Amino acid sequence: MIDIKALRDNPDLYIQAAQNKRIAADVPRLLEVDRQLKDAKAKLQEIATEKNRIGKSIPKLAGAEKDAALESLSRMKRDEEASQEAVKQLQPEFDALMLQVPQPADPEVPVGKDDTENVELREEGEIRQFDFEPKDHVQLGLALDIIDIERGVKLAGTRNYFLKGDGALLHWAVLRFAVDFMVGRGYTPMSVPLLMRDEAMQGTGYYPGSEEQTYRVEKDELSLAGTAEVPLTAYHMGEIVQEQELPLKFVALSSCFRREAGAAGKDTYGLYRIHQFDKVEQVIVCKNSDEESAAFHEEIQANSEGVMQALGLPYRVVAVCTGDLGRGQAKKYDIEAWMPSRENYCETHSASKFYDFQARRMNLRYKETQTKKNRFCHTLNNTVIASPRVLIPLMELYQNADGSITVPEVLRPYMGGKEKIVAGS
């Protein structure tokens, strides 16, 4: 959520932000409702002050003066009820309009309509050139009997799968390595709940806007989280932490659930776009400092690149354009891994900076040590690794001519020292 005072001072900035992000937000109507709401609340305060003054004077009055004072109180009561009704009608509309207003992107963010206009910053690692006809991850997985999509679809519908044997072990190895990597960098490991109340979904910016992508448990009024970002960022929702506690650095491994609504017929092959996956997520909650946010944004990006480099996967980093940013994101980097079967770099990570957008929604604050003032925190998050999507480049780039898959060296300790996945193993 944005600061209404900032919007009042510079409405054009937020109108332009909505246009650049291609997000519907009626800023003029919000300003009009805000004005009416302020007037109604000011009127209520005036009435309360006047009622208090007249109430204190009545015991000293008599006759016509007392009658006039009582009549004034009666008239003010009617005015008070009218103003209260105005607030009752205006406040929900104000709140709804506020939730729609996007955070302006940082000035250096490229303006663009969608992900096709993201800007490549750099490429890392060497793309493997094969001296044999390579297989894609599904062909490899079926031949090695480590992936079963057919039975996943039979039991759970499209975009579902089984990983089995060494496929499951490779999947878990990637995730466990990523957790250990982050713990080694000082992040606190967290095991998180996945069923979220609406307050947490709204607080982190997923509602409104992502309802169609979310699995909803209507009977319990809960939602399955599509990322551990939600419970990690909302962990201190509604609290005031002490400045010396910051920064908070969390890492969590969780299952993630996404409906992929609107993706019918898109990326239906293999493990790229699926309904359920596992992800290691990193979240930082820090002081209200643009400089700190910028530094931590580079830190979480570096953490994810460190994992990719340890796995030996070639990738590129892109600056996400305005049209591909979410409502609360001020700036975002994507990491895209090279996937041979797709003949392209494809997204595997997103590092996002929010400033105080999420914290305002969640009322997440900290008390400054010197001033004793309460300030909204800043928040950031990034994927450390997500699987099984990352298994696509891992399997395809580490395959051998005989159909086996070499296990990356850093993952071998998590697979009992196994160096290769071979048929029948």
Angle at 4 between CA 102 and CA 240, to 5 degrees: 95
Banded model confidence at residue 264, pLDDT cuts 50, 70, 90 = low
**73-92 pLDDT, tens digit each:** 888 888 899 999 999 999 99
CA distance 408 to 399: 11
What are the pLDDT digits (tens) for 141-161? 999 999 999 999 999 999 999
Type of residue at 120: E
Q: What is the token pair recorded at 271?
A: 């493990």
Contact between 381 and 359 (Cβ < 8 Å): no
Omega before residue 107 within 30° of 0, cis: no
pLDDT > 90? residue 207: yes
Residue 102: left (phi > 0), alpha (psi -120 to 50), or beta? beta
Q: How far is CA 269 from CA 2, 74, 106, 198, 277, in A?
A: 40, 72, 36, 33, 15
State how far the Cα of 272 lies from the Cα of 283, in Å rounded to an integer: 24
Q: Which residues are catalytic?
A: 258, 273, 347, 350, 389
User: If pLDDT is split at 50, 70 and 90, which confidence band does 263 have?
Assistant: low
Q: Which residue has the higher pLDDT, 263 or 113?
A: 113
Residue 265's pLDDT is: 67
User: Residue 43's pLDDT band (boundaries 50, 70, 90)?
Assistant: very high
Res 117: pLDDT: 97
The arithmetic mean of pLDDT across residues 100-122, rounded, is 97
Tell me the whole-structure pTM to 2 decimals.
0.92
Centroid of chain to Cα 63: 66
Q: What is the mean pLDDT of the chain?
A: 95
**pLDDT 10s digits, 304-315:** 999 999 999 999
Per-residue confidence band for 51, with pLDDT thresholds at 50, 70 and 90? confident
Check: CB of residue 114 under 8 Å from CB of residue 299.
Answer: no
Q: Is the pLDDT of residue 332 over 80?
A: yes
Cβ neighbours for 244, distance < 8 A, ≥ 6 positions apart: 369
Lowest mean pLDDT of 55-64, 208-217, 384-393, name the range. Answer: 55-64
